[in-house]
Structure 1
């Protein structure tokens, strides 16, 4: 499975590299108002927008991820509390050989 993932990564890398090599024509980029930048390679513009889109997409997932982590921590504490209530003597550690049944030889 690991080799398949690396093969797919190599294929994607080669596709992006070939795409970048074909899109080197200079373009003009106009921002808000009259501010413009002339002669920027097209691939730089495309990669910049891709990276910015990825960063904004990841930033949108952060609040949900933090919320899930807090919920998991809360549920673990609740599980520990319930286990302590059900098994009050579980705090005392017993040797492992006492927990396993002895099989006859």
Structure 2
């Protein structure tokens, strides 16, 4: 299995390398306010766009994971409290007489 993973990694590396070698034409990259970069290799532009998208995706994923971890921690705490209540049920300090809830006879 290890060899298969390394073969797949090598194959992906070769494909990406060939893709990069085929996309070396210079392009003009225009930004806002008439700011532009000229003669930037196309593969560099594509790589920067890919890395920015990857970082944004990872940031969103980390925020989602942190929110889920907080929720799991809260739920575990709630479960522990409920288990504690099951083990040690609370006995009312002042028991209420049945007559106060439902009188036996009207006056």
**Aligned residues: CA RMSD:** 2.0
Equivalent residue number for residue 84 of structure 1? 84
Q: How many residues align?
A: 88
Counting only pairs closer than 5 Å after superposition, residues 4-83 of structure 1 correspond to structure 2 as 4-83=4-83
Dislocated runs of 4+, deviation >6 Å? none
Give TM-score, length-normalised by structure 2. 0.68
Give TM-score, length-normalised by structure 1. 0.69
1:16-67 Cα shifts (integer Å, max 9, x gaps): 1111111111111111232111111111011000001111122222332221
Q: Based on CA coordinates, which of the two structures has the bigger radius of gyration?
A: 2
Show structure 2 runs of 5+ residues with no match. Answer: 89-107
**Secondary structure of the residue that 1:29 maps to in structure 2?**
strand
**Secondary structure of the residue that 1:32 maps to in structure 2?**
coil
Equivalent residue number for residue 95 of structure 1? none
Task: Name the structure where helix makes up a greater proportion of residues.
Answer: 1
How many angstroms does 1:9 deviate by?
A: 2.5
